[in-house]
């Protein structure tokens, strides 16, 4: 029932394991197949509506906990990370739930036109897998954090108590069995949805960026060998500049297609990137404070802090890699060998037109490609370092207030 990405020839794409888990675990975010029945669609919408109500309930009881312990900074900060991530995920998950169709179209376009397969270029494909290893490995940190929350029911049985997975205060007696068991099940469901969203969307975006980066590398290689190919192919020098111009226009069209797809990614993910980065400072601060003040009793916060920290670093590195590759393309257009064409071509009129096209190509592609959060910041290592610096500044302030 859920959409399975396919390549242009109809073959199923082998999804990386974090994306495969994301597809299976997160019914809020992942779209349905094109042939989904009306009942499937209504069931999916009902699941989204019920999920929204569960998130609202958790939002309320998590916030009541913060209010109840607002005068105790240590206890309040125990509930702050789960509340922050809950609010962030409620915004991101349900924004995606409302835009499933556009997300599916983006996946279709990516896997049909921009996905780099091993048969296409095995070396580039291996580079992509190597570049994606940090994000996939970091997914294990998020799973470890979720697993630590899952130990709560075991401790409840050992110590004969009925605590929730997260720090929450209810306005009714939630320890009564007919309230407790449905609520603890909702706790588990929210944890699974949030965890899969955290590492799933990161890996989807990482796949988009690194495969696009590979496409830009292929484009730069074709630009580098453009003049030599034209000279070899065209024995009649009178039409050499004209043929070079046609080939260059083809490469420009490929470049424009890549740029248009980046714009589609930006439109789809910009809001969610903004909230992800915006909440990261407070989240890192709260997680770091709890891990520092009580390291033995805060194992879940340590895993969670490590996951968030390395997620930002991996995301920043992927963004900087894409930006660096595209930043070199304007130079590649200038260095595409036009001077060799000028030397061999006797057609002065075509030479002038060719030079104008090269100049336009350099000017149009002078700006490097990068994703942004509502144009407020760009996904680069510099932006990540700024977030981490802000988090540690707040951490030092909380430490002085304790």
Structural domain contains residue 104: yes
* Residue at token pair 């890699």: 321
Is it the case that residue 374 has pLDDT exceeding 90?
no
Structural domain contains residue 278: yes
Task: Report whether 106 contacts 159 (CB < 8 A).
Answer: no
Q: Which domain holds residue 296?
A: 17-401
Rounded distance between C-alpha atoms, residue 2 and residue 5, angstroms = 10
3-state secondary structure of 12: strand
Closest CA to 276 of 301, 312, 302, 303: 312
- Residue 296 CA: distances (Å) to CA of 73, 208, 291, 301, 402: 19, 39, 8, 10, 19
Is it the case that residue 332 has pLDDT exceeding 90?
no
Average pLDDT (130-148) is 89
Structural domain contains residue 349: yes
* 288-297, long-range: CB < 8 A, 24+ apart: 288/391, 288/392, 288/395, 289/77, 289/395, 289/398, 289/399, 290/77, 290/78, 290/81, 292/395, 292/399, 293/74, 293/402
Structural domain contains residue 8: no
pLDDT interval class at 254 (50, 70, 90): very high
Structural domain contains residue 149: yes
Contacts of 130 (CB under 8 A, 6+ apart): none
* Residue at token pair 């660096």: 324
Structural domain contains residue 3: no
3-state secondary structure of 234: coil
The helix (H) or strand (E) run that includes residue 214 is helix 177-224
32 phi/psi in degrees, rounded to 5: -90, 165
Rounded distance between C-alpha atoms, residue 268 and residue 264, angstroms = 6
- Residue 59 CA: distances (Å) to CA of 13, 81, 164, 172, 356: 37, 12, 14, 16, 59
Rounded distance between C-alpha atoms, residue 381 and residue 95, angstroms = 26
Rounded distance between C-alpha atoms, residue 78 and residue 63, angstroms = 12
Structural domain contains residue 10: no
Predicted local distance difference test score (pLDDT) of residue 297 = 63
Structural domain contains residue 6: no
Predicted local distance difference test score (pLDDT) of residue 56 = 94
Is it the case that residue 235 has pLDDT exceeding 70?
no
Rounded distance between C-alpha atoms, residue 220 and residue 225, angstroms = 9
Is it the case that residue 296 has pLDDT exceeding 70?
no
Q: Convert the pLDDT of each residue in 15-28 to its tens digit.
A: 999 999 999 999 89
The pTM of this model reads 0.91
The domain tally of the chain equals 1
Average pLDDT (293-309) is 80
Closest CA to 324 of 212, 199, 203: 212
Task: Report whether 379 contacts 273 (CB < 8 A).
Answer: yes
pLDDT interval class at 158 (50, 70, 90): confident
Is it the case that residue 237 has pLDDT exceeding 80?
no
Is it the case that residue 206 has pLDDT exceeding 80?
yes
């Amino acid at each position: 029932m859920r959409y399975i990405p396919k390549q242009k020839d109809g073959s199923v794409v082998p999804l990386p394991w974090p994306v495969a888990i994301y597809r299976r675990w997160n019914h809020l975010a992942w779209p349905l197949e094109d042939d989904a029945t009306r009942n499937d669609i209504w069931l999916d919408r009902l699941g989204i509506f019920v999920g929204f109500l569960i998130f609202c309930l958790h939002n309320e009881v998590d916030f009541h906990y913060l209010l109840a312990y607002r005068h105790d900074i240590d206890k309040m900060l125990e509930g702050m990370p789960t509340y922050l991530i809950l609010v962030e995920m409620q915004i991101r998950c349900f924004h995606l739930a409302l835009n499933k169709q556009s997300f599916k179209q983006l996946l279709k376009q990516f896997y049909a036109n921009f996905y780099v397969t091993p048969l296409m270029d095995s070396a580039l494909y291996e580079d992509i897998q190597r570049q994606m290893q940090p994000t996939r490995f970091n997914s294990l940190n998020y799973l470890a954090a979720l697993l630590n929350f899952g130990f709560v029911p075991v401790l409840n049985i050992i110590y004969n108590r009925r605590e929730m997975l997260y720090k929450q205060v209810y306005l009714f007696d939630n320890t009564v069995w007919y309230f407790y068991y449905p609520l603890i099940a909702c706790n588990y469901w929210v944890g699974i949805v949030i965890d899969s969203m955290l590492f799933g969307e990161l890996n989807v975006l990482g796949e988009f960026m690194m495969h696009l980066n590979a496409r830009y590398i292929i484009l730069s290689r074709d630009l580098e060998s453009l003049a030599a190919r034209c000279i070899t192919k065209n024995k009649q020098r009178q039409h050499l500049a004209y043929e070079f111009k046609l080939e260059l226009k083809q490469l420009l069209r490929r470049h424009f297609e890549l740029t248009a797809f980046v714009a589609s990614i930006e439109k789809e993910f910009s809001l969610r990137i903004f909230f992800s980065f915006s909440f990261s400072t407070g989240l890192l601060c709260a997680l770091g404070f709890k891990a520092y003040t009580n390291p033995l009793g805060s194992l879940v916060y340590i895993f969670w802090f490590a996951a968030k920290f390395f997620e930002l670093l991996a995301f920043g590195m992927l963004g900087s890699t894409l930006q660096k590759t595209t930043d070199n393309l304007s130079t590649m257009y200038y260095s595409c060998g036009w001077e060799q064409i000028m030397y061999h071509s006797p057609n002065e009129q075509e030479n002038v037109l060719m030079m104008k096209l090269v100049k336009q190509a350099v000017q149009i592609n002078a700006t490097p490609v990068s994703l942004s959060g509502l144009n407020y910041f760009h996904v680069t290592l510099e932006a990540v370092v700024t977030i981490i610096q802000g988090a540690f500044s707040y951490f030092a302030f909380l430490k002085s207030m304790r």
